[in-house]
Amino acid sequence: MVAGMNAPNTARAVRTGTRMSQDNFACALQAAGRRVGEPNDANKRLVQRSESGAIAAPRPVYAATPTAKPLAVHGSYEGVRLSRYQFHSSGRGESFAGQHFVVVLQHGDRLTVHSLPGSAASSLSLDLTVDGAVVTGTWVEQTDHAGYYRGARYHGAIQLLVEPTGRRMAGKWVGFGKDMDVNTGPWELTFRDASTSKATLDHYNTSPE
């Protein structure tokens, strides 16, 4: 390598994968440091130097921060996501998929998720907690009164793994069926839009299909 030249690294790829600006990424680094008890003075200039390769080996306080809590990398989970789960109907002997556009609101490490009313005949809500790359919580679905399940209310537990970019969470749900049997199946929440404005919610207030 020619003397004086900087060695590019993966820092920029990590940041762009989160869809965050350099300023926002620096703020996320600071917030993550506070959460793990290791305050830092990360700023836009530090991010720029890391991405250019001027900083080939960041101090441990910066290197460890993004992986200590994925929230530091992903920024906020707030916005609109497509919720899709699969379930088997014993009465019909078939498997089906339930889809809703949902709005996610974040309060620290807590996520509250509610379906947009126009996206499906049933209503869905989830109460989730983020712990590293694992999201765990509960779900409740009120089925369509005019549908096959005639307004029955189902609930259960859910655990998801967050992909490195934060754009997709995928895992499993578990819940009781009408005969007190334990059912389970895949569930995923896929990013659609970071905004929670009225215009954005109105746009997604329709069937995913």
Residues 67-103 have pLDDT tens digits of 434 443 455 799 999 999 999 887 788 889 999 999 9
Burial class from Cβ neighbours inside 10 Å (0-12, 13-18, 19+) for residue 178 reads: exposed
**What is the number of domains present in the chain?**
2
* One domain for residues 153 and 174: yes
Q: Quick one: what percent of the chain has pLDDT higher than 90?
A: 43
* One domain for residues 33 and 83: no
122 or 45: which leads in pLDDT: 122
Q: Is residue 87 part of a domain?
A: yes
* One domain for residues 153 and 196: yes
* One domain for residues 40 and 102: no
Residue 172's domain is classified under what CATH number?
Answer: 2.40.160.90
Residues 120-145 have pLDDT tens digits of 999 999 999 998 889 999 999 998 88
47 or 179: which leads in pLDDT: 47
* One domain for residues 100 and 198: yes
Are the CB atoms for 160 and 188 separated by under 8 Å?
yes
* One domain for residues 129 and 173: yes
* One domain for residues 126 and 195: yes
pLDDT on residue 196: 92
* One domain for residues 193 and 122: yes
* One domain for residues 102 and 162: yes
Question: Quick one: average pLDDT of 35-62?
Answer: 70
137 or 153: which leads in pLDDT: 137
* One domain for residues 35 and 84: no
The pLDDT of residue 8 is above 50? no
Q: Is residue 154 part of a domain?
A: yes
pLDDT on residue 3: 39
177: number of Cβ within 10 Å: 14
pLDDT on residue 174: 93
Query: Which amino acid is present at 101?
Result: F
Q: 3-state class of 177 per DSSP?
A: coil
Are the CB atoms for 53 and 8 separated by under 8 Å?
yes
Q: Is residue 185 part of a domain?
A: yes
* One domain for residues 192 and 123: yes
Q: 3-state class of 58 per DSSP?
A: coil
pLDDT on residue 62: 53
Q: Report which of 161, 173, 152, 193 is spatially closest to residue 85, judged by C-alpha positions.
A: 173
Q: Is the pTM value of this prediction over 0.75?
A: no
Q: Which domain holds residue 115?
A: 79-204
* One domain for residues 152 and 58: no
130 membership: H or E segment, kind and range: strand 123-131
Query: What integer best gives the mean pLDDT of the chain?
Result: 80
Q: Is residue 97 part of a domain?
A: yes
pLDDT on residue 51: 77
Q: Is residue 6 part of a domain?
A: no
